[in-house]
Amino acid sequence: MEGDKQLKYKPHKYQEYAIRFILEHPVAAVFLDCGMGKTSLTLMALMLLKYDRFEIGKILIVAPLRVAKYTWPNEIEKWSDFSCFSYSVVMGTPKERMAALRKEADIYIIGRDCLTWLVEKSGMPFDYSMVILDELSSFKNWQSKRFKTLMKVRPKVERIVGLTGTPTGSGGYMDLFAEFKVLDMGARLGRLIGQYRTSYFRPLATNGQIVYSYGLLPGAAGQINKKISDITISMKAVDHLDMPELLSTTYPVYLDEKERRTYEEMKEDLILQTDEGEVTAANAAALSGKLCQLSGGAVYLDDESTVEIHKRKLDALEDIIESAVGKPVMVVYWYRHERERVAQRLTELKVPFGFLDSDSSIDKWNRGELAVALAHPQSSGHGLNLQESGSDTMVFLTMPWSVEMYQQTVARLWRQGQKNRTVTVMHIVTKGTIDERIMKALENGSTTQAALIDAVKAEF
């Protein structure tokens, strides 16, 4: 966060509870919803363990690629409390990864897909006394390479924490076997998947000796919950909070050099030449719209066709939806091409989604039949009750111009009748672009488009 003032970390009550839990449990599963600050509270626990209690040495954080590359470093840099940490991000080519591993640091951060390389090919000793598994659900498949790799070195680890929003995805309670085995090496749910299945499940769909699906035995869910409860914080563990609480977070994305040059060309020249056609802005108001589109990844040409510039926000949205593990997410878009590009990505991912632009789609959403709902502030910002789905997560791809419209959109989930105790509003913000100016204008209560146009002028 070069040039930014570091903040003092002031945890919420539930975060204080989770920090204490990690301190007191060498093996811990922390299940808090997306946007509730799992990263920062974990860093606070790490800081206390390393520099207050002197109980741990080297730390390894294993996370999804973009979370490892951006989220963890950003959180370390954001808070003054964590300035004591030195860290190294293990990414890039094998040569770059090796250089990062040889660097002296307190914390090593690596993408989950590089874990096997680290253990089997790097040649470096696995001498981490504490391991953080960000997105524990990434280890739900007991047959996967990353699961087997981690189990090889798990006995060397003194402390381990698994973080996720919810541990049970499409596999339900069956997913818990592998997730908890990497934590406690089978102490609670058993060492063998066959024993786990026999103890808690019955076959549902079969063909001779082949079982296609399993269902829980009567009372099995309660038995499993009791087995893992001593090392687990679930959402039910934060019921002491005065809720619902609104958590507003920013999910940053970054342009590469070519994409940055494209953005700067539009900003400086008010015109952009592409292979597909030309983009022009006649005035500051038009320019602000074009810059918003560019930060989002696509822009309208003068002939009203669309050209895609990057996929940064789509990739970030994919990560957020994955971390939700099937829990419904409301995605707020502004431009038509945003809606189309998101719909295409969700179709490719085979994620069930719908548009909140009709009574039937709203009914489907409120019945919990959609994993993702795409909403436009002008059609869903006023008067709709959309909290019945069980969703407590809203993601803004592009923020609307109007503070009132923004607040009314947020109020579709953050309102009386919300079943969940916390509502998280996430803003995917392209760093170094007009997105940051708009966020500041919204936070300061600037309610007119003129105020936001002034934010554009401030960049010149």
pLDDT of 30 = 92
Give, for 210, the enclosing helix (H) or strand (E). Answer: strand 210-216
pLDDT of 366 higher than 80: no
**Structure tokens that stand for 48 in this block:** 């206390």
Closest C-alpha to 288, from 381, 426, 376, 398: 398
In a domain, 201, yes or no: yes
413: phi then psi, degrees, rounded to nearest 5:
-105, -40
pLDDT of 57 = 96
CATH of the domain at 386: 3.40.50.300
- For residues 106 and 188, state if they share a domain: yes
- For residues 220 and 330, state if they share a domain: no
Q: How far apart are CA 315 and CA 338, in angstroms?
A: 13
In a domain, 35, yes or no: yes
pLDDT of 388 = 54
Supply the range of the domain harboring residue 424: 245-252+310-457
In a domain, 264, yes or no: no
- For residues 123 and 232, state if they share a domain: yes
Section 12-18 average pLDDT: 87
Section 192-199 average pLDDT: 94
pLDDT, tens digit, 9 for 90 and up, residues 423-434: 889 999 999 998
In terms of Cβ atoms closer than 10 Å to its own Cβ (0-12, 13-18, 19+), residue 250 is middle
In a domain, 297, yes or no: no
Q: How confident is the model at residue 367 (pLDDT cuts 50, 70, 90)?
A: confident
CATH of the domain at 233: 3.40.50.10810
- For residues 88 and 182, state if they share a domain: yes
pTM above 0.75, yes or no: no
Q: At what angle do helices 434-443 and 284-296 cross, to 10 degrees?
A: 110
Q: Are 431 and 425 in contact (CB under 8 A)?
A: no
Going from the C-alpha of 119 to that of each of 122, 131, 149, 219, 252, the distances in angstroms are: 7, 13, 7, 39, 30
pLDDT, tens digit, 9 for 90 and up, residues 390-420: 578 899 999 887 776 787 788 777 765 566 6
Mean model confidence pLDDT for the chain = 85
Q: How far apart are CA 357 and CA 379, in angstroms?
A: 7
- For residues 24 and 150, state if they share a domain: yes
pLDDT of 36 = 72
Q: Indicate the SS3 state at residue 55.
A: coil
pLDDT of 457 higher than 70: no
Domain-terminating residue out of 177, 207, 238: 238
Section 50-61 average pLDDT: 96
In a domain, 96, yes or no: yes
Q: How far apart are CA 162 and CA 137, in angstroms?
A: 9
pLDDT of 450 higher than 70: no
pLDDT of 169 = 58
Which stretches of 201-349 are DSSP H helices?
220-228, 257-269, 284-296, 312-324, 336-349
pLDDT, tens digit, 9 for 90 and up, residues 118-169: 999 999 999 999 999 998 988 999 999 999 999 999 999 999 999 987 676 5
Section 353-361 average pLDDT: 82
Section 236-265 average pLDDT: 77
Block residue for tokens 């309208």: 300
Residue 24: alpha-carbon gap to chain centroid: 26
Question: Over pLDDT 70: what percentage of the chain?
Answer: 87
Q: How far apart are CA 397 and CA 395, in angstroms?
A: 6
Q: Are 45 and 32 in contact (CB under 8 A)?
A: no
pLDDT of 418 = 62
Q: How confident is the model at residue 454 (pLDDT cuts 50, 70, 90)?
A: low
Going from the C-alpha of 176 to that of each of 27, 61, 109, 161, 197, the distances in angstroms are: 15, 21, 25, 15, 11
pLDDT of 400 = 82
Number of domains in the chain: 2
Going from the C-alpha of 225 to that of each of 47, 231, 413, 419, the distances in angstroms are: 30, 11, 29, 22
pLDDT of 240 = 37
